[in-house]
């Protein structure tokens, strides 16, 4: 029951967060002269007649509170609005672009956690070994490497030579898994690596440090003293305790991940929410941007709730109240 | 002075003034420097949420009244968690009190704003327990001792330096060390720095919160002697906190024993040490190591059972009853008043239903009560 | 050289000059000594200095090559097919870009943007982060509850998304990028400062200051802040490369520095269509970016290691107890250098 109460409270807080984000976007975009808004919706080259038409159609000269009311009620009904150019629903646009983004995020998160935690644990248990020193340098290199540079470099040194030599499995662009799992992986493998590398470096450092701290604790010495095998000490006792700060960091980083998504989608031409949004900036397509902002907030909120639940399950000291 | 539930709050009168030497109980109130009336301090326990609900309270100080006389020392004794440090901080105005009053020279200083408290800061100073933690490791000694002058805008520049160096000399530090950092001094020297800082504004009261318990025994005496000298020279009053009765014996004129936020026994030094009425006082006395092994062998040790209970849910009736060798049914039901017992003068107050009589063996009582 | 001998040498040095501060100096002094012996850190400093000098001297190279950063050279700077020319050809040291501009000069001018953004945003973020962290940690209560939630929210918020939104409303520009990057950098500093403040404000020296009548501001900035300088310095050093990466990423996405002003990010954005024909167009700006961020990260790590011997303590878990019990001079050196709020030990006198 405590869990359900916790969930309900977190969901309510989440709704508040999304409301704040939505209202902030509204203020940012619509609390300006109607003309300006209409222009940014209708495009830079729009004629005065088109502008007037847009103002009327969108009710831009109504009082700001009335507009805000419409805006919120639209959102409550799950309607993110319409792209002004082609009258296409923003929901539809975003829904079309969800699969590449979802594939990218899911694969990259799995890869980043496996590599980050794995290398971190191996480094910590072999502190000061050659492997550890190598990993530590790799971490610094990974942190220093901007995602887009890594993507470009991968294209340059992996994708290009392979394709020149008739090896066409690895591709750019996006093909869904329905067309064959192998093909999907071939298209996604470079984006996954690109997106996961920076985060994996951060997580290697984090889990290594956390595990080293834990291994210095008295209770670990006690566990060793009572004759448990090193394996049990490390994996049953230390790793479990060391992973809690790592998990709590995960909630924070999922937000930063979205930034990486935008970059990776652009580098590899995957389509997807991020690339569409960047393109929307070029065309001043406001409703798409607002839609993306709200979807991003939703993602961050949901991810944080899930992470907090995992955190509570992992750390017996944290009681959900 | 404690009251049972439902009793009207007791009126403060000259009769319960503590620290009055026997036979002079009708002395005027002019020489009372600080009076604490029915002081209560509860710390709320909050849930860890954005809108923190109060889920319980720590009864740190519960209805304590006492007085500190001009030029004298009141020793305040109790185990860790008895609320003595909290009481000191309430008197010093460092934390707001839940209810009750603190008077300083007939002026009420309870829960004043920082600005209104400022003049009293000059009169009431503190010396802290931890000679390491109480000095900012990143500031030079001159700046630490001179800080009171800086805060109150009293002296600056060369004048401040001169006055700080005078203070350093007065507390037995080398004034040449003006520019050193605290880490370059020993524990005892650091405590002298703390004393100099407390002395800077020539306060009337110095609250010493276990000033020697972190020091080596050989150093303790030096610091205690310094405090005694300063008291003679400047007519200071001390509220001297300690967790055992041994240290307090040498410096106090009168003693107050606290247990779980309440006063167990208060009175002039001699009767408290020679004929303690409260079983808790007796237990504290018997726990102190004796310098003389022969008397130690004769002395009966009273071992208290268990730990001090949680101040979140203090025991009913007399708070000491779960650990008291003399406890009977009444002790769990009714709270004993803090009043003169067994014909004591009205300066010696005990909160116990069954106070110890002269010549009574507490250890024997404990044996008899234990099934 | 062991820490104990270093300390002894240090203690000896101060005997001749009693007016000098041992402890305060030794914390920074020991850090400095260790840093000087860290070859990687020294190398990083050298690299950073070289890059900085190159960026400052960029106009000098313009007068040397007669290639202003925005000038295109359609005749000499592009091949017959309209492609960039290779390094060394026609006096273009690192070749040209797609419209025939001197890549070397543009990378130098890009360095100016990167370093400027890195340093300015870090200064803003450090000032804001320290103030907010101090306020949240010191005042506690609802102030802290609100600020802590806000910090968490900022940390979790995807910065590219905000940059997208602001780019639409305000148009991409240098002040906007500096604003966005500062806004996302202060929170990380703030969170750590808040945590440290929470533990520092429980120290008795803070209570002592309060009992003297010090105002909250005086306590925060004169008593607590000096104890936080070391961790803040490390955080700031590590925030600079992050800011540089942020800027490059935003410029790469077209949300940052706009052409024709060169930035490593927007050079790389143009280069992506030419990596088959002109490797230098990709490799040199990418290398400049990588070397700069790596140097700052290595330096930050070096400073952290030099200040915080904790890592060593964990490695030498067995030695820990011995050190605590027996070698006081060593303990002083270790804690003094730790720079954190740890209590210094008493052995020096």
Q: How many CA atoms lie within 13 A of A68 on its CB side?
A: 14
Measured between beta carbons, the chain C residues lying within 8 angstroms of A256 are 158-159
Please give, rounded to a whole number of angstroms, the shortest distance from the CA of C241 to a CA of chain B: 29
Q: A136-145, B148-157, C262-271, C325-334 — which is least confidently predicted? A: C325-334
End-to-end CA distance of chain A, in Å? 10
Please give the pLDDT value at position C18. Answer: 38
Tell the residue number behind the tokens 């210095």, with chain if given. A216
Kindly report the CATH number assigned to the domain that includes residue B248. Answer: 3.40.50.300
On the question of pLDDT at C240 being above 50, the answer is yes
Same domain, yes or no: A15 and A135: no
How would DSSP label each residue in B15-72? Answer: GG-SSPPTT-TT--STTEEEEEEEEEEEEEEE-SSSSPPEEEEEEEEEEEEEEEETT-
Q: How far apart are CA C21 and CA C30, in angstroms?
A: 13
Q: What distances in angstroms separate CA C316 from CA A174, A213, C308, C340, C345, one per listed residue?
A: 50, 12, 14, 20, 20
Query: Which residue of A lies nearest to C294 if distances are taken between CA atoms?
Result: A144
Look up residue B19 and give its two tokens.
Answer: 């620290």
Looking at chain A, which residue has its C-alpha nearest residue C244?
A146
Confidence band of C338 (pLDDT split at 50, 70, 90): very low
In a domain, A40, yes or no: yes
Contact A293 C254 (CB under 8 A): no
Kindly state whether residue B15 falls inside one of the protein's structural domains.
Answer: no
Q: What is the pLDDT of residues A177-197, one digit of tens each?
A: 777 787 888 888 899 999 999
Domain boundary among B148, B171, B195: B195
Q: Give the range among A20-29, C134-143, C303-312 with minimum mean pLDDT.
A: C303-312
Whether A147 sits inside 8 A of C313 (CB atoms) is no
**Interface pTM (ipTM) of the complex?**
0.80
Distance CA(C18)–CA(C38), nearest Å, equals 30
Residue B308 has phi, psi (to 5 degrees) of: -65, 130
Asked if the C-beta of A319 comes within 8 angstroms of chain B's C-beta atoms, the answer is no
Q: In chain A, pLDDT over 90 holds for what percent of residues?
A: 4
The pLDDT value recorded for residue C311 is: 43
Ranges of chain B with pLDDT below 50: 1-28, 50, 364-371
The answer as to whether B128 is a domain residue is no
Per the structure, the count of domains in chain B is 3
Q: Average pLDDT of A43-58? A: 73
Quick one: average pLDDT of A82-107?
82
Cα distances (Å, whole numbers) of residue C156 to A249, A254, B63, C193: 10, 7, 48, 18
Looking at the structure, tell me whether residues A173 and A284 fall in a common domain: yes
- Please name which of B190, A198, B364 lies closest in space to residue C349, comparing C-alpha atoms: B190
Q: For residue A43, what pLDDT is reported?
A: 63
Ordered by where they begin, the domains of chain C are 34-309 (1.10.3720.10)
Q: Is residue A87 part of a domain?
A: no
Per-residue confidence (pLDDT) for residue B75, from 0 to 100: 94
Per-residue model confidence (pLDDT) at position A320: 45
Q: What is the tally of structural domains in chain A?
A: 2
pLDDT given for residue C346 in this prediction: 36
Q: How far is B46 from chain A (nearest CA, A)?
A: 12
* Residue carrying structure tokens 């991020």: A274
Both B209 and B115 in a single domain? yes
Residues of chain C positioned with their CB less than 8 A from the CB of A257: 158
A93: left (phi over 0), alpha (psi -120 to 50) or beta: alpha
Do B118 and C213 make contact, defined as CB atoms within 8 angstroms?
Answer: yes
Residue B49: closest C-alpha in chain A:
A321
* CA pair distance A209, A121, nearest whole angstrom: 9
Predicted confidence at residue C219, as pLDDT, reads: 93
Per the domain annotation, does B237 fall within a domain? yes
Q: Length of chain A in residues, anyone?
A: 321
Nearest CA among C240, C98, C262, C101 for reference residue C181: C240
Check: CB of residue A151 under 8 Å from CB of residue A267: yes
- Beta carbons of B314 and B322 less than 8 angstroms apart: no
Q: Which residue has the tokens 């991968």?
A: A154
Q: Identify whether A84 is part of a domain.
A: no
Which pLDDT belongs to residue B267?
93
Res A32 pLDDT > 80: no
A260 and A180 in a common domain: yes
Sole residue written with tokens 């400073």: C303
Residues spanned by the domain of A181? 93-314
Among C47-51, C68-72, C267-271, C312-316, the range with the most confident prediction by mean pLDDT is C47-51
Q: Compute the average pLDDT of residues A287-305.
A: 83
Query: In the prediction, which pLDDT does A299 show?
Result: 84
A65 plus A108 within the same structural domain: no
Sequence-distant (6+) residues with CB within 8 A of B127 are B191, B194, B195, B198, B206, B207, B208, B209, B211
Rounded to whole angstroms, the Cα distance separating C33 from C9 reads 12
Q: Is A321 on the interface with B (CB under 8 A)?
A: yes
B169 occurs within a structural domain: yes
To the question of pTM greater than 0.90 for the whole model, the response is no
Strands B73-77 and B124-127, by their bridges, are unpaired
C156 contact residues in A (CB cutoff 8 A): 251-252, 254-255, 300, 304
Whether A243 and A166 map to the same domain: the answer is yes
Distance from CA of A321 to the nearest CA of B (A): 9
Does A86 fall in a domain? no
Same domain as A121, residue A53: no
Question: Taking residues C189-195, what's their average pLDDT?
Answer: 90
pLDDT band at C17 (very low <50, low <70, confident <90, very high): very low
Clarify whether residues B180 and B319 are in a common domain: no
Residue C340's pLDDT is 37
Q: What percent of chain A is predicted at pLDDT more than 70?
A: 91
Domain shared by B220 and B361, yes or no: no
Question: Mean pLDDT across chain C, nearest whole number?
Answer: 78
Of A159, B7, A9, the C-alpha closest to C272 is A159
pLDDT of residue A274 exceeding 80, the answer is yes
Together in a domain, A65 and A100:
no
Q: Work out the average pLDDT over A310-314.
A: 71
List the end-to-end C-alpha distance of chain B, in Å, as a whole number: 33
With a cut of 50, say whether residue C321 has pLDDT above it.
no
Helical residues (DSSP H) of A216-271, grouped into ranges? 218-225, 230-232, 239-268
| Domain identity same for A138 and A264 | yes
Residue B33: give the domain boundaries: 28-48+55-123+203-252
- Least confident residue range of A280-294, B45-59, C3-17: C3-17
**For residues A210-220, b (16+ Cβ closer than 10 Å) or e, as one string?**
bbbbbbbeeeb
Contact A241, C342 (CB under 8 A): no
Picking from A309, A301, A320, A304, the residue whose alpha carbon sits closest to that of residue A1 is: A320
Q: What residues does B36 pair with on adjacent strands?
A: B66, B102
Residues A110 and A43 in one domain: no
Helices of type H across A84-159: 90-96, 98-125, 130-144, 147-154
> DSSP state, A44?
T
A300, A305, A311, A316 alpha-carbon torsion, rounded to 10° = 160
| Chain B residues within 8 A of A13 when measuring between CB atoms | 50
A103 and A164 share one domain: yes
Cβ neighbours of C227 in B, within 8 Å: 136-138
pLDDT of residue C193: 92
Cα within 13 Å of Cα(A280), Cβ side: 31
Q: Is the domain of B227 the same as that of B210? A: yes
Predicted confidence (pLDDT) per residue in C28-37, tens digit: 777 788 888 8
pLDDT one-digit tens code per residue, C276-287 = 788 888 889 999
């Amino acid at each position: 029951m405590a869990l359900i109460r916790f969930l309900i409270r977190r969901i309510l807080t989440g709704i508040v967060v999304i409301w704040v984000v939505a209202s902030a976007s509204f203020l940012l975009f619509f609390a300006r002269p109607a003309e300006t808004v209409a222009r940014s919706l209708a495009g830079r080259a729009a004629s005065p007649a088109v502008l007037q038409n847009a103002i009327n159609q969108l009710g831009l000269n109504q009082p700001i509170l009335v507009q805000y009311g419409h805006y919120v009620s639209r959102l409550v009904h799950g309607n993110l609005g319409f792209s002004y150019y082609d009258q296409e629903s923003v929901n539809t646009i975003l829904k079309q672009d969800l699969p590449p983004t979802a594939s990218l995020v899911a694969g990259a998160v799995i890869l980043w956690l496996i590599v980050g935690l794995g290398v971190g644990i191996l480094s910590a248990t072999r502190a000061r070994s050659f492997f550890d020193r190598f990993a530590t340098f790799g971490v610094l290199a990974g942190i220093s490497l901007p995602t887009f540079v890594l993507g470009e470099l991968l294209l340059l040194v992996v994708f290009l030579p392979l394709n020149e030599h008739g090896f066409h499995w690895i591709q750019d662009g996006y093909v869904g898994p329905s067309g064959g799992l192998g093909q999907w992986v071939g298209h996604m493998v470079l984006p996954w690596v690109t997106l996961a590398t920076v985060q994996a470096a951060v997580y290697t450092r984090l889990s290594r440090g956390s595990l080293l701290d834990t291994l210095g604790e008295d209770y670990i010495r006690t566990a060793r003293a009572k004759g448990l095998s090193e394996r049990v000490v490390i994996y049953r006792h230390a790793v479990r305790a060391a992973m809690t700060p790592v998990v709590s960091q995960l909630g924070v980083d999922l937000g930063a991940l979205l930034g990486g998504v935008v970059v990776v989608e652009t580098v590899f031409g995957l389509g997807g929410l991020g690339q569409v949004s960047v393109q929307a900036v070029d065309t001043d397509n406001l409703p798409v941007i607002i839609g993306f902002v709200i979807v991003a907030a939703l993602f961050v909120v949901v991810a944080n709730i899930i992470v907090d639940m995992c955190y509570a399950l992992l750390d017996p000291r944290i009681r959900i109240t | 002075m404690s009251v049972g539930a439902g009793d009207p709050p007791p009126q403060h009168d000259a009769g319960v003034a503590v620290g009055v030497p026997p036979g002079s109980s009708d002395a005027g109130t002019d020489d009372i420097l600080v009076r604490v009336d029915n002081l209560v301090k509860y710390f709320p326990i909050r849930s860890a949420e954005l809108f923190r609900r109060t889920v319980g309270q720590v009864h740190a100080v519960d209805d304590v009244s006492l007085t500190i006389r001009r030029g004298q020392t009141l020793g305040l004794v109790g185990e860790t968690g008895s609320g003595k440090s909290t009481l000191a901080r309430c008197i010093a105005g460092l934390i707001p009190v839940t209810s009750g009053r603190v008077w300083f020279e007939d002026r009420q200083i309870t829960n004043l704003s920082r600005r209104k408290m400022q003049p009293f800061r000059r009169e009431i100073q503190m010396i802290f327990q931890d000679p390491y933690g109480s000095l900012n490791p990143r500031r030079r000694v001159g700046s630490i001792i001179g800080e009171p002058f800086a805060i109150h805008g009293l002296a600056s520049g060369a004048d401040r330096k001169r006055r700080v160096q005078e203070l350093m000399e007065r507390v037995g530090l080398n004034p040449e060390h003006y520019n050193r950092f605290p880490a370059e001094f020993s524990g005892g020297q650091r405590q002298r720095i703390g004393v100099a800082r407390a002395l800077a504004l020539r306060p009337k009261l110095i609250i010493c919160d276990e000033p020697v318990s972190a020091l080596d025994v050989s150093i303790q005496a030096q610091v205690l002697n310094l405090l005694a000298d300063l008291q003679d020279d400047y007519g200071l009053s001390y509220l001297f906190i300690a967790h055992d009765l041994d240290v307090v014996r040498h410096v106090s004129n009168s003693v107050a024993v606290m247990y779980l936020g309440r006063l167990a026994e208060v009175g002039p030094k001699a009767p408290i040490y020679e004929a303690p009425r409260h079983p808790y006082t007796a237990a504290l006395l018997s726990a102190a190591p004796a310098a003389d092994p022969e008397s130690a062998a004769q002395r009966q040790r009273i071992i208290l059972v268990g730990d001090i209970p949680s101040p979140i849910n203090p025991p009913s009736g007399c708070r000491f009853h779960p650990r008291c060798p003399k406890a009977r049914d009444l002790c769990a039901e009714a709270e004993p008043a803090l009043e003169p017992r067994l014909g004591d003068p009205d300066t010696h107050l005990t909160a116990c239903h069954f106070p110890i009589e002269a010549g009574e063996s507490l250890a024997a009582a404990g044996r008899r009560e234990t099934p | 050289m062991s820490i104990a001998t270093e300390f002894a040498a240090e203690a000896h040095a101060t005997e001749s000059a009693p007016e000098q501060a041992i402890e305060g100096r030794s914390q920074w002094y020991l850090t400095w000594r260790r840093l000087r012996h860290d070859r990687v850190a020294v190398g990083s400093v050298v690299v950073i200095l070289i890059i900085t000098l190159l960026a400052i001297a960029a106009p000098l190279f313009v007068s040397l090559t007669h290639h202003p950063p925005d000038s295109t050279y359609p005749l000499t700077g592009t091949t017959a097919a309209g492609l960039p020319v290779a390094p060394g050809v026609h006096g273009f040291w690192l070749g040209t870009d797609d419209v025939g501009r001197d890549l070397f000069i543009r990378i130098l001018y890009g360095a100016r943007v990167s370093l400027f953004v890195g340093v300015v945003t870090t200064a803003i973020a450090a000032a804001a982060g320290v103030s907010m962290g101090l306020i949240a940690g010191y005042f506690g209560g609802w102030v802290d509850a609100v600020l802590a939630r806000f910090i968490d929210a900022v940390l979790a918020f995807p910065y590219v998304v905000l940059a997208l939104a602001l780019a639409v409303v305000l148009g991409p520009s240098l002040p906007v990028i500096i604003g966005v990057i500062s806004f996302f950098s202060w929170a990380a500093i703030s969170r750590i400062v808040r945590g440290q403040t929470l533990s520092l404000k429980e120290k008795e020296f803070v209570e002592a200051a309060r009992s003297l009548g010090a105002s909250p501001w005086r306590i925060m900035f004169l008593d607590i802040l000096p104890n936080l300088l070391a961790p803040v310095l490390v955080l700031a050093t590590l925030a600079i490369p992050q800011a540089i990466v942020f800027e490059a990423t935003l410029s790469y996405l077209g949300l940052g520095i706009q052409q024709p002003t060169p930035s490593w990010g927007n050079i790389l954005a143009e280069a992506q269509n030419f990596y088959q024909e002109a490797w230098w167009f990709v490799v040199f700006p990418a290398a400049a970016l990588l070397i700069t961020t790596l140097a700052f990260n290595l330096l930050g790590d070096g400073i952290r290691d030099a200040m915080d011997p904790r890592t060593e303590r964990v490695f030498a878990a067995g030695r820990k107890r011995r050190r605590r019990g027996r070698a006081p001079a060593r303990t002083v050196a270790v804690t003094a250098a730790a720079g954190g709020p740890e209590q210094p030990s008493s052995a020096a006198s």
